[in-house]
Structure 1
Amino acid sequence: MKLSSQIKPISYLKSHTAEIVKSITESREPLIITQNGEAKLVVMDVKSFEEQEDTMALLKLLAMGNQEIQEGKFRAIEDIFSELDNQG
């Protein structure tokens, strides 16, 4: 998380909700909410959240692919193209 993220107490969230929504939507910077001085949650805009979810999904696919390569679960590209040519 960026160090430039805003940090506010939960009371600020309760009393400035509309302002926070506008600010986060425009800046796309997350807001860290604290309770009793301890970080408890992060508020972020939907577009940033969706982009983060997409990035995580791609990283999981890459990790799975790397593991399959390490386990020898792959085929040479020439074999795949040859198989495709023979199907047509």
Structure 2
Amino acid sequence: MMNIKPSAAIRKNYNEISELCKQSGEPVYLTKNGEGDLVVMDIKAFARRESMLRLRENLIAAEEDRLSGKKGYSVDEVSKMMKDAVKEVLDGQRK
């Protein structure tokens, strides 16, 4: 479900919007004069998204390297990289 609020709501109902972000884990879209203006979200959800984006970027870069013939990684190296990535995502959820 997409949460959309007028920009004035952030001034009048900061605590309500903050709680909505925390409970839903989803961003709240703020509009100004009926047009999209800002997006606000819980810091934990933001950190989780950033971690997932970094993981995806790393996976894409590794696949591009593989396709271009660059040196690959051993099973042990990949296993360690995946464990590190999962740990980073989980640590981002706990913050």
Common fold by TM > 0.5: yes
What is the aligned partner in structure 1 of residue 27 from structure 2?
A: 30
Q: What 5-or-longer segments of structure 2 have no aligned partner?
A: 75-95
Aligned amino acid, residue 14 of structure 1: R
Per the TM alignment, residue 8 of structure 1 is displaced from its structure 2 partner at its CA by 0.8
Per the TM alignment, residue 23 of structure 1 is displaced from its structure 2 partner at its CA by 2.1
1:55 aligned to 28, 52, 57, which one? 52
Please list every run of at least 4 consecutive aligned residues from structure 1 whose deviation after the TM superposition is greater than 3 angstroms: none
Report the identity percentage.
32
| 3-state SS of paired residue (1:72) | coil
Q: Distance in 2 between matches of 1:30 and 1:49?
A: 9
Matched, 1:8 2:5: yes
The change in CA–CA distance for 1:76 and 1:39 in structure 2 (over 3 A counts) is: closer
Give the total of aligned pairs.
74
RMSD: 1.5
Larger radius of gyration: 1
Q: What 5-or-longer segments of structure 1 have no aligned partner?
A: 78-88
| 3-state SS of paired residue (1:29) | coil
Q: Distance in 1 between matches of 2:72 and 2:36?
A: 47
Q: Distance in 1 between matches of 2:70 and 2:52?
A: 24
The change in CA–CA distance for 1:76 and 1:15 in structure 2 (over 3 A counts) is: closer
What is the aligned partner in structure 2 of residue 83 from structure 1?
A: none
Per the TM alignment, residue 12 of structure 1 is displaced from its structure 2 partner at its CA by 1.3
What is the aligned partner in structure 1 of residue 90 from structure 2?
A: none
**Of the two structures, which has the highest relative contact order with CA contacts closer than 8 Å and spacing of 6 or more?**
2
